[in-house]
Chain A
Amino acid sequence: MNLLTIIFFDAINYAATLFLLSVGLTVVFGVMRILNVSHGGIYALGAYMGTWLALWVLEVDLPPVLTYLMLLLGALIVGFLLGPIIERLLLRRIYGSDMHIQLLLTFSILLILDDGMKLIWGMEPLFISEPYSMLGRFKVGGIIYPWYDFVLVGVAVVFGAALVWMVRATRFGKLVIAVIADREVSQAIGINVNLIFTVAFTVGALAAALGGAFVAPKIAVVPQFALEVVVLAFAVIAIGGMGSIEGAAIGAIVVSFARALAIHLAPEVELMAVYLIMILVLVVRPQGLFGEVELRRI
């Protein structure tokens, strides 16, 4: 029982990080049909910007509690600035192009972002730990957890719920669903598809930046740290179904439970467990757990 509780907490904790990392990827793919490889770069930039601002708060001796605000501010700056810039200046030119053009372009953006971060912040890790330890800790099943881990769960739940609400309960959401269903018809009936795309990409970028900024206090923020993580995000959305917000949540939970179970019960298979599940899901349901079969249009 004790062990199951620990596995549950470990899994939920990691699922929050994975959800924040992958939900933006799935939103962008769902609306724009673009596999955004630069997502990891935006995630990293969120981490750098948030940490940099939070470190500034500590340097000028402002109350440390403001570091949380700075993490949020860092994510908002990156999401709201970078999202529209990348979409309007670059992606807009390649809609309708082959998948390989999209991959090349978004991969180039990733490389540019990575080098940009190196130029600005150098190769030394940015290090801040106060936000992670400041909130105190609690014990479950004899194991200590920092409260911050559950702040992350909160951020993930609130952001996920806001996205679902936006898509399901607002006029804007209905327009997004219309664009997903048929881009040309939506345009023909007067929906501003370009605006929908800009907003969708900005939401995706914001999700990535939020994930990066709030994970930063518990990791070493170093150049290219997001490259490894983003591979896992692709596994998450492949399991959950590409383009589905609920799918990203379920995918994150499945991957996290697989990993936590492996670490506690069979550490030798930890690295394999996630991808084994991905293969199993794709064999049984190639479109992922929540994905929809795409109809071929004539």
Chain B
Amino acid sequence: MRKISTSGILSFALGALAAGAMAFGAAAAPPKGAPKALKVAFVDFFSGGAAVFGVSGKGTSEWVVAKWNKEGGIGGVPIDLVLVDEGGGPKKQVSELRRLVLDEKVDAVVGYTSSGNCLAIAPVAEELKVLTVVHVCGTHRLTEDNKLKYVFRTASNQAADSVSLARYVLSVKPDLKTIAGANEDYAWGRDSWEAFKIAIQRLKPDVKVVAELWTKFQAGEYSAEISRLLAARPDAIHSSFWGGGLITFIKQAGPRGLFDQSLVALSTGEQVLQNVGKSMPDGVIAAPRATAGFFALEGAPGHKAFVEAIYKHNKRYPDYPAYRTYQAWAGLKGAYEKAIADAGRWPTTEEVIKAFEGLSWETPSGTVAMRSDHQAVHGGLVGVTKFSKEHGFAILENIVHHKAEDINPPLGTKTLDWVRAIK
């Protein structure tokens, strides 16, 4: 039997220690002044028609936080995740935010899917001086009607969706003459339709609007709206319905032939593909709101691994809320890490904000860049639905990729002014 020398044991032990250190946080010790944990709230819908967003957002947040905590957290500090339901309307969200900051003492907040909610909480987040990273909310007014210091949005605003849909509709139907809109009667629906209508009429000035319909938030009934759209016979229909509302719309409109009669463009259509299965007809224009899409894997390095990991964790392919949730968390992490490197110690919120402005970070969708107006910009894709036997539901084909500068207004230009001048 071979004898093991003392020095051999020692060097093995040292090697094991070094390997362990690399695995558990190549991570050096936390910087000076670091807290025991970084407490971050994730706010998304866990009830109501919009809960399909929360399912993705919650799953992705839990996955990414667990993964990073295993790797050493942010700058060696683990993240303490607090989950909060976004249901109940803007007033409730304002009180929830106050509770999170004053009682729960969170260090940052990630979330807000509804445009109504993000508009309501932004001034309060500024007043409470809490770093808030908005992940899905789409209204351009968030960054244009508010002077933001503490609030960031890590994804493109609705103009990116409306303009890319308008361009795509005209490429599919160059002889377009009439359009109609069916949208929810609040910030997201109003702003999305306004930008789509302006973009279409700018690109083809003779297009006429034959119906503009406004429904309740997450309405569960669209029969009369569908009759109105069938009677108006528009060449194309724009809808920014989302979540449960969009699922109901597809369920009710499909059997009534609306998708056969008109070309329908759904700005959040990609999100419900996995829910509606065969009920989504082929040939409907849909987009993953300027993110990559699990069906188009030629994105950034690591995209495939992201899709596989999210599928394993969420039992669902990453839809656009999953991509946007990751974008928000990765932006927050990037900002903290840059601020730690700049300060050489645990940074103040103001130092994190300074690091966030101008930050670029990699995501499965590609590079995201945060501008000084706290609005991130990135490219995106649009396609049409086609049933996939392999998946058991429709995915997108005939995909067109847009560069960030083609679907986002430049810094300093108001969104609608930019849309009015697109070429």
Contact = CB atoms under 8 A, between A and B. Distances in A.
B76 to A, nearest CB: 34
B201 interface: no
B231 A142 contact: yes
Contacts of B52: 123-125, 222
B360 to A, nearest CB: 34
Contact of A14 (B51, B215, B223, B248): B223
A10 B231 contact: no
Contacts of A218: 248, 251-252
Interface stretch (A25-33, A89-97, A225-233, A289-297): A225-233
Contacts, number: 139
Interface in B252-299: 252, 254-257, 275-277, 279
Contact of A263 (B48, B217, B224, B255): B224
Contacts of B276: 127, 129
Interface in A273-298: none
Given A125-B244, A228-B219, A223 B231 contact: no
Interface stretch (B143-151, B206-214, B361-369, B373-381): B206-214
A143 interface: yes
Max chain A C-beta neighbours (<10 A), residue from B54, B212, B227, B228: B227
A114 B51 CA distance: 13
Nearest to A146: B255
Contacts of B244: 125, 219-220, 222, 225
Interface string B120-163: 00000000000000000000000000000000000000000000
Interface residues of A, number: 48
Contacts of B49: 220, 222, 225
Contacts of B20: none
Given A3-B231, A223-B48, A144 B247 contact: no
A132 interface: yes
Contacts of B257: 137, 144
Nearest to B213: A267
A127 B277 contact: yes
B275 A225 contact: no
Contacts of A124: 52, 55, 275, 316
B410 interface: no
Nearest to A124: B55
B205 to A, nearest CB: 24
Contacts of B227: 6, 9-10, 143, 263-264
Interface string A45-89: 000000000000000000000000000000000000000000000
Nearest to B258: A144
A223 B223 CA distance: 22
B24 interface: no
A3 B277 CA distance: 34
Given A132-B251, A220-B251, A264-B224, A123 B87 contact: no
Interface string B43-54: 000111101101
A149 interface: yes
B221 interface: yes
Nearest to B252: A218
A271 B48 CA distance: 19
B35 interface: no
B302 interface: no
A219 B49 CA distance: 10
B230 A133 contact: no
Given A6-B227, A271-B216, A133 B47 contact: no
A125 B48 contact: no
Interface string B287-329: 0000000000000000000000000000010000000000000
A258 B87 CA distance: 29
A168 interface: no
A98 interface: no
Max chain A C-beta neighbours (<10 A), residue from B55, B224, B245, B316: B224
Contacts of A146: 255-256
Nearest to A139: B257
Contacts of B47: 114, 118, 123, 223-224
A114 B275 CA distance: 21
Interface in B55-114: 55, 87
Interface string A141-184: 11111100100000000000000000000000000000000000
Interface string A83-127: 000000000000000000000000000000010001000111101
A137 B219 contact: no
B350 interface: no
A219 B220 contact: yes
B185 interface: yes
A17 B227 CA distance: 17
Contacts of B254: 129, 133
A123 B248 contact: no
B275 A125 contact: yes
Contact of A222 (B51, B215, B217, B252): B51
A39 interface: no
A219 to B, nearest CB: 5
17 contacts: A6-B227, A123-B47, A127-B275, A129-B276, A132-B252, A145-B256, A146-B255, A146-B256, A220-B49, A220-B244, A222-B243, A222-B247, A223-B51, A228-B220, A263-B227, A270-B215, A271-B214
Interface of B: 46-49, 51-52, 54-55, 87, 185, 211-221, 223-225, 227-228, 230-231, 243-245, 247-248, 251-252, 254-257, 275-277, 279, 316
Interface of A: 2-3, 6-7, 9-11, 13-14, 17, 114, 118, 122-125, 127, 129, 132-133, 137, 141-146, 149, 215, 217-220, 222-225, 227-229, 259-260, 263-264, 267-268, 270-271
Given A123-B52, A125-B52, 11 more contacts: A11-B224, A114-B47, A129-B255, A143-B230, A219-B252, A224-B47, A228-B216, A228-B217, A263-B227, A264-B224, A270-B215
| A-B residue pairs, 4 tightest by C-beta | A220-B247, A220-B244, A10-B224, A263-B224
